[in-house]
Structure formats: C-alpha cells, structure tokens
C-alpha cells in the first residue's frame, strides 16, 4: 500500500473517533500556542525596549557615579538605585571638562528629584530634571510653544521651567502656560516652554516631567553640588571606544584616581555606551524569553504523552480491525504507516491550529499593552516561532506515535481476530 492510500486510511480512522481526535489535538494546540505567544510577546518587549533606548541616540555615552563592580555587589536593583543616588563623585564641572575633549560634540549633565508642583488650585507630584541647553538636542525634546532651557538660564541660575505635555495638560488644561508662575518647594518658577508629546521612553517619561536649569535644580531645590549622570555625544560613532578611553583618563585625573591597570572597578564612575546597553538588555530579554518558552514547551511534552496514551487505547480498541486488515493482506509496514500517520496528522493539525491561536494571543497582548502602557507595542509573529511550532509538533507525533504504531503492526492476525 502506497503512502497516499495509507494517508486515506489514517484519515478515515481519525474521522470515526472525532471526539478522541479533537481532545488529542487540544493538548498540542495549547502547547504550540503557549510557545508562540511567549516568543512573540518576548520579542515584542525586546523590540520596544531597544527602540526606546535607540531613540536616545546611538552615539551617546552615559557616565554615572560609582564603579560598575560595586553596583553589581550591592544587592537588589532598587537598593543599587537608592545608594547610587547618594554617590557624589560626579560634578557639573566634569561635564564641562568632558565637552572639551576632541571626540566629544556636546555633553548633558543631569540631576533629578521628585516634588509637588502647584499652580493656583492645581497640584501634581512630578519629576523635575535639571539640564543645560543641550537637553533639547540629546533628549530630542522639541517645544510646541515658548522655548527650551538655554545657556543664559544655566549661568544666571534662572527660576524658569519647561513643561512636559502631560504635566502642562493637568495643570493648565487648554490654557497657554507660557509666562505663568508655578511653585516648587515654596519657590516661584516662570514657565518658558511646553514640549510636544513624546510618549513613554526608556527609563523616564518626558511627558510627565518638567525641566529647569541644572544650576537652579542643584542650588535651590536639591541643595547639592553633585550630579547624577552625564550624557556625552560623540562626533563620530566609529570612535566610541576611543572616546570612552579619553573620558576615563580625564576623570581619573580630575578625581585623583591612581589606576595604571585601567581597572574600571577602581574608578569612582562608570562609562557605558549605547551599544553595551542594547547588548545587555538584548541578552536579558533573550534569556527570559527562552526560559518562558521552555516552561511553555512542557505542555507540548504533556501533549505528546497524551497522544501516545490515546494511540495505545486506539490500538487496543481496533485490535479486531487490525487483525482483519492483516488477514486480507496488509503488511506490518502498512499497519505501522497507518498508525504513525494518524499520530503525525493529529500533531500537525494541532500545530497549525496552535499557530493561529498563538497569533491571536500575541495580537491580543499587543493591544492590551498598547492600552495599558500607552505606547506602540507592535504585533510580532516571529517566523522561527512558527517553524518551531510546526516542527516540534510533528516531531512529537513521530516520536510518541512510534511505540503505539509498532505495537499495532506486531499484532498476530489470528489472535487479533479472536479479540473481544
């Protein structure tokens, strides 16, 4: 009997037991859908995170206080962030010195705090960010009205602010905020600008923040002379490694750090490139997706075992049929092919249906995340997940269908005919 006839016989056998076939397929559907859904959501999250980081500029370097090795040893991420905020090794003048390096185009010193801002009867707790005139370029913060922070504001320690779009909306509604006065920590500030809506960004929300001159934030609001971060923009992305080396040498000299071995663990700062950040986050999200996919794959294994059990029951129930087919000339190979094809058809059908359900899960998740996070999550259906779903489901049908098929093919036709 050729493969086509064996396929017809296998399909006919499955049709006579529709409920059992449907239940068998269900186990594979759940497993494949889970794997595709997890992989799709994982890649969607990775794509969103990396696109938001890339939006900060691929030619940017981030200089933060504290050695990298210290941060890794301090404990939880929250503990690290709280302790790092207290490290006072970076100064505003460090940013000015870095900007004078030949490979650096401009720098943005940053300091941040949280407080309540008040306008007449309206009040809102928000993040205030101290910056210099380079913020609009490096952070890509175009204004829709008024102007951004300039060098004169920084030098004169001006009491002026620029509002994010959501903060402006909550405080002023549809009114023009330019020239209005808000209050932070009992100090009045004049609104000089309002930014266009940016949507969620990596590590911060520009729409819910306000910006003011870094000197004003340091002296009037925070009472400190250190900063929390310096962002340095290089002239040419091909010389990022050289720029990192120059920054490290400069800061070691300024901070009186003796480090002839150039060991980053001995520095009181760390320099991280955009490329390193993207690679690190890609690795983390990739590992998480793999782990979650592995957990989801367990359901496929369970489905495979279910298929084997149901096929064994099918062999037992159809013993007389097998004996009759052998009596009229069917060979062991014909019986083996029939039951093996039945298992493969079940798992292949489950794989295809599982892909459709996995795509629906991914689409639903993207719509939910779009709504909850107010961002463009994006619908992704990775081809490697589709190929994996179909390939694994068929492999499971082959592996878990061999034993029942061999058992059926080895039945003695005379004993099979006598079976009740």
- Does 278 fall in a domain? no
Same domain, 78 and 12: no
- Note down the domain range covering 190: 67-267
| pLDDT given for residue 406 in this prediction | 74
- 84 compared with 78, residue with greater pLDDT: 84
| pLDDT given for residue 280 in this prediction | 65
Picking from 79-83, 101-105, 222-226, 396-400, which range would have the lowest pLDDT averaged per residue?
79-83
- Is residue 46's pLDDT more than 80? no
Same domain, 214 and 98: yes
Q: Where among 232, 267, 302 does a domain terminate?
A: 267
Q: How far, rounded to the nearest angstrom, does the alpha carbon of residue 254 sit from its chain's CA centroid? A: 38
> How far is Cα 98 from Cα 102, in angstroms, rounded to an integer?
9
Same domain, 122 and 18: no
- Is residue 82's pLDDT more than 70? no
- Is residue 79's pLDDT more than 50? no
What is the rounded average pLDDT of the residues 173-197?
Answer: 89
| pLDDT given for residue 156 in this prediction | 92
- pTM for this predicted structure: 0.61
Task: Give residue-wise pLDDT tens across range 88-115.
Answer: 788 899 999 999 999 999 999 999 888 8
Give percent of the chain with pLDDT exceeding 90.
Answer: 15
- Does 91 fall in a domain? yes
What is the rounded average pLDDT of the residues 210-223?
Answer: 91
- Is residue 333's pLDDT more than 70? yes
* Residue 214 and residue 132 in contact, taking contact as beta carbons nearer than 8 Å: yes
- Does 59 fall in a domain? no
- 155 compared with 77, residue with greater pLDDT: 155
Total tally of structural domains belonging to the chain: 2
- Does 385 fall in a domain? yes
Identify the band that residue 71 occupies on the pLDDT scale cut at 50, 70 and 90. very low
> How far is Cα 195 from Cα 111, in angstroms, rounded to an integer?
19
Q: Where among 235, 267, 299 does a domain terminate?
A: 267
- Does 61 fall in a domain? no
DSSP code per residue over 19-74 = HHHHHHHHHHHHHHHHHHHHHHHHHHHHHHHHHHHHTT-TTEEEEEES-HHHHHHS
Same domain, 315 and 233: no
Same domain, 184 and 317: no
Q: Which of the residue ranges 12-16, 126-130, 319-323 has the most confident prediction, judged by mean pLDDT?
A: 126-130
Return the structure tokens found at 218.
């340091």
Inter-CA distances, 273 with 50, 231, 232, 277, Å: 14, 10, 10, 6
Same domain, 254 and 346: no
Same domain, 260 and 305: no
DSSP 377: -
What is the rounded average pLDDT of the residues 362-373?
Answer: 75
| pLDDT given for residue 69 in this prediction | 54
Identify the band that residue 139 occupies on the pLDDT scale cut at 50, 70 and 90. confident
Same domain, 165 and 196: yes
Catalogue the E-assigned strands of 91-186.
Answer: 104-119, 122-131, 143-146, 160-163, 181-184
What is the rounded average pLDDT of the residues 217-241?
Answer: 87
Own/partner contacts of 171-175, CB < 8 Å, gap of 24 or more, are: 171/117, 171/119, 171/122, 171/124, 172/119, 172/122
- Does 309 fall in a domain? yes
Radius of gyration of the chain measured on its C-alpha atoms: 32
Same domain, 47 and 141: no
Own/partner contacts of 221-224, CB < 8 Å, gap of 24 or more, are: 221/113, 221/115, 221/128, 221/130, 221/184, 221/185, 221/187, 222/111, 222/113, 222/130, 224/88, 224/111
- Is residue 319's pLDDT more than 60? yes
Give percent of the chain with pLDDT exceeding 70.
Answer: 71
| Mean pLDDT over each residue of the chain, to the nearest integer | 77
- 394 compared with 144, residue with greater pLDDT: 144
- 333 compared with 159, residue with greater pLDDT: 159
Identify the band that residue 160 occupies on the pLDDT scale cut at 50, 70 and 90. very high
Nearest to 44 by CA among 339, 388, 381: 381
Same domain, 250 and 368: no
Same domain, 29 and 115: no
What is the rounded average pLDDT of the residues 174-185?
Answer: 89
């Amino acid at each position: 009997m050729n493969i086509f006839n064996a396929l017809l016989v296998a399909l006919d056998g499955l049709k006579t037991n529709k409920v059992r076939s449907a239940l068998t397929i269900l186990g594979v559907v759940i497993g494949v859908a889970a794997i595709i859904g997890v992989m799709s959501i994982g890649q969607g999250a990775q794509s969103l995170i990396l696109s938001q980081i890339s939006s900060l500029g691929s030619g940017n370097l981030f200089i933060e206080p504290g050695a990298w090795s210290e941060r890794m040893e301090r404990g939880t991420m929250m503990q690290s962030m709280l302790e790092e905020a207290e490290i006072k090794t970076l100064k505003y003048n460090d940013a000015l010195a870095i900007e004078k390096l030949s490979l650096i185009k401009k720098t943005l010193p940053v300091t941040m705090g949280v407080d309540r801002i008040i306008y007449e009867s309206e009040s809102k707790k928000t993040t205030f960010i101290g910056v210099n005139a380079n913020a609009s370029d490096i952070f890509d913060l175009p204004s829709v009205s008024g102007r951004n922070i300039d060098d004169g504001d920084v030098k004169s320690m001006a009491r002026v602010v620029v509002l994010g779009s959501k903060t402006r909306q909550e405080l002023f509604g549809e009114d023009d905020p330019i020239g209005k006065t808000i209050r932070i920590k009992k100090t009045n500030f004049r609104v000089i600008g309002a930014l266009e809506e940016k949507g969620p960004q990596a590590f911060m929300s520009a729409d819910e923040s306000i910006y003011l001159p870094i000197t004003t934030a340091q002296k009037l609001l925070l009472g400190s002379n250190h900063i929390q971060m310096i962002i340095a923009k290089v002239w040419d992305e091909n010389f990022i490694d050289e720029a990192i080396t120059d920054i490290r040498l400069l800061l070691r000299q300024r901070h009186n750090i003796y480090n002839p071995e150039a060991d980053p663990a001995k520095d009181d700062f760390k320099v991280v490139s955009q490329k390193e950040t993207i690679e690190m986050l890609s690795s983390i999200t990739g590992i998480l997706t793999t782990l979650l996919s592995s957990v989801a794959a367990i359901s496929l294994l369970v489905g495979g075992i279910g298929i084997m059990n149901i096929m064994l029951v099918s062999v037992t129930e159809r013993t007389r049929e097998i004996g009759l087919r052998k009596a009229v000339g069917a060979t062991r190979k014909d019986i083996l092919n029939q039951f093996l094809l039945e298992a493969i058809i079940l798992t292949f059908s489950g794989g295809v249906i599982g892909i459709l359900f996995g795509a629906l899960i991914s689409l639903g998740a993207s719509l939910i995340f779009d709504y909850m996070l107010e961002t463009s999550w994006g619908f992704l259906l990775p081809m490697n997940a589709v190929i994996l779903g179909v390939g694994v489901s068929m492999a499971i049908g082959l592996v878990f269908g061999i034993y029942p098929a061999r058992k059926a093919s080895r039945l003695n036709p005379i004993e099979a005919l006598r079976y009740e």
